[in-house]
A and B are shown apart, each in its own frame.
Chain A
Amino acid sequence: MTEDEIRKSYIEELIRVAPDLDAATISGGDHLQDDLELDSMDVLNLVIALSKRFGRDIPEADYPQIATADLAVAYLGNLPGESDRLI
């Protein structure tokens, strides 16, 4: 999966969790909670969606690594060596 595909998937799942967001106005550095006003329930719903879509666990300790689209692209693109975290 390319970085662009990961980014697109992330934005798609984000919009599904928060349908009142406008995909066109979300920038790569926008923070889920500080900038986009997601609450902890929204963040959990996004984690669930991303876990299913990417077929991997996202432990609570890693939540900060998906807090922006830019961070998530790096984190979700970095699969090798993490098979022990698969659900």
Chain B
Amino acid sequence: MAVFSMPSLGADMEAGTLVEWLVKPGDAVTHGDIVAVVETQKGAIEIEVFEDGTVAKLLAEPGQTLSVGSPLAIIAAAGEVDQEVPAPMPAKPSRAPSISSTGIAASPAARARAAELGIDLARLKGSGPGGAIVLADVETSKVSPEPIAAASDRAAYLSEMRKAIATAMARSKREIPHYYVSHTVDLSAASDWLDAANATRPPEERLLMGALLAKAIALAAAAVPEVNGHYAADRFEPSAEVHLGLAVALRGGGLMAPAILNADKLDLSALMAAMRDVTTRTRAGRLKSSEMSMATLTFSGLGDSGVEAMAGIIVPPQVALVTAGGPQPMALVRHGAVVAATAVTLILAADHRVSDGRLGAKFLLAVDKFLQTPEAL
């Protein structure tokens, strides 16, 4: 028997509200199945199960707000008998995000349909459990006669997300002794290769410089394991796999960094497709629990802003964050002469409990090296 519990979907999460069950007692489940939807300060998340077995009992009701770690269901392996488990622990109301305060509780089907129709979920009234928006609400919806109310719902959602970011970043600054290493990378080779590659590719197969940067960072993380993993229980646990968190900014403010699993093992086209997919689903509010919690290192690019560089704050329990300014023409010195070339400035923020500046330098130089042979990425 295994107890299926409210997962932690990031360092900023203390509780979540169960929106709906996608399984019932007696259903067979296997590792990776999506079994429930939970509303958090960062929107609704599809929750995956990590055991194989049969759903023996559901312990929580849709609409309940539960602390991280509270039992939600019992998953039995074949032939097992049911056992008593503790009742779910209701979260302290003052700390838990309520559905009404975010206004965006919705089932995945409703979200998908709303995205198809171009309907803003913040404009809909939900008829599902706890006021969650279900598919029928989307199908029968009309444009809200009160756009001001819709705008304030979106503002409330972004305000909740701002609180979640504040909690996580304040914790990071309090607990993690950050150090920073900066390095400017000549992107001439990468830029030329990218232009040539995209000229022959149809739009759906085109690459962005961000994908090349992400791949180089993931490969460097595999080579320098001290930046890749989680810090938990007073020790660093390096990860053999590189799950690269990708910071995605939301319009009007707000930020999420879902993980692209095994990013170092994906070829550029597959990585680009994964980046597009995760960006689209972040915007639509359809991320999975594994994507919310498994990142081992995060990459945040300000590629579209034109600024030169950004120094970031590590996302706990990770131990490093790589930020990039916008790739742009810079004055570089080559063979003793100043030349204008496309370049990008990377800044590594890393955890001094785990590594030192020399190690950070080694990591950024590894990223640089990978970017000089873009055809091998």
- Interface residues in chain A, defined as those with a beta carbon under 8 Å from any beta carbon in chain B: 12, 15-24, 33, 36-37, 39-42, 44-45, 47-48, 51, 57-60, 87
Contacts and interface: CB of A to CB of B under 8 A. Distances in A.
A40 B206 contact: no
Contact of A23 (B118, B252, B276): B118
Nearest to A25: B147
B206 A44 contact: yes
Nearest to B250: A20
Q: Interface extent on B, as a size class?
A: 20 to 34
A15 B284 CA distance: 11
B304 A45 contact: no
B120 A19 contact: yes
11 contacts: A16-B116, A19-B114, A20-B154, A20-B251, A20-B283, A22-B120, A22-B147, A39-B304, A41-B275, A48-B204, A51-B202
B280 interface: yes
A68 B206 CA distance: 21
B62 interface: no
A44 B276 contact: yes
A22 B148 CA distance: 12
A47 B283 CA distance: 17
Interface string B191-222: 00001001100111010101000000000000
A39 B250 CA distance: 10
B89 interface: no
B251 A60 contact: no
Most buried by A among B119, B204, B208: B204
Interface in B247-287: 249-252, 275-276, 279-280, 283-284
B115 A19 contact: yes
B303 interface: yes
Contacts of A22: 120, 147
Interface in B115-144: 115-116, 118-120
B203 A57 contact: yes
Contacts of A47: 203, 206
Contacts, number: 65
Main SS of chain B's interface residues? helix
B153 to A, nearest CB: 12
Given A39-B249, A48-B204, A33 B283 contact: no
A7 to B, nearest CB: 15
A18 B118 CA distance: 8
B210 A51 contact: no
A40 B210 contact: yes
Contacts of A19: 114-115, 118-120, 283-284
Given A16-B118, A19-B114, 19 more contacts: A12-B118, A15-B118, A16-B116, A17-B280, A18-B283, A20-B250, A20-B252, A20-B283, A21-B251, A22-B120, A23-B118, A37-B251, A39-B249, A39-B303, A40-B304, A44-B208, A48-B203, A51-B204, A60-B206
Contacts of A42: 279
A87 B200 CA distance: 10
Contacts of B283: 18-20
B118 A33 contact: no
A24 B377 CA distance: 43
A24 B148 CA distance: 13
Nearest to A15: B118
A33 B303 CA distance: 12
A12 B115 CA distance: 11
A37 B250 CA distance: 9
A40 to B, nearest CB: 5
**The 9 residue pairs across chains A and B that have the minimum distance between CB atoms:** A15-B118, A48-B203, A51-B203, A48-B204, A41-B279, A47-B203, A39-B304, A19-B115, A37-B251
Interface string B90-115: 00000000000000000000000011
Contacts of B304: 33, 39-40
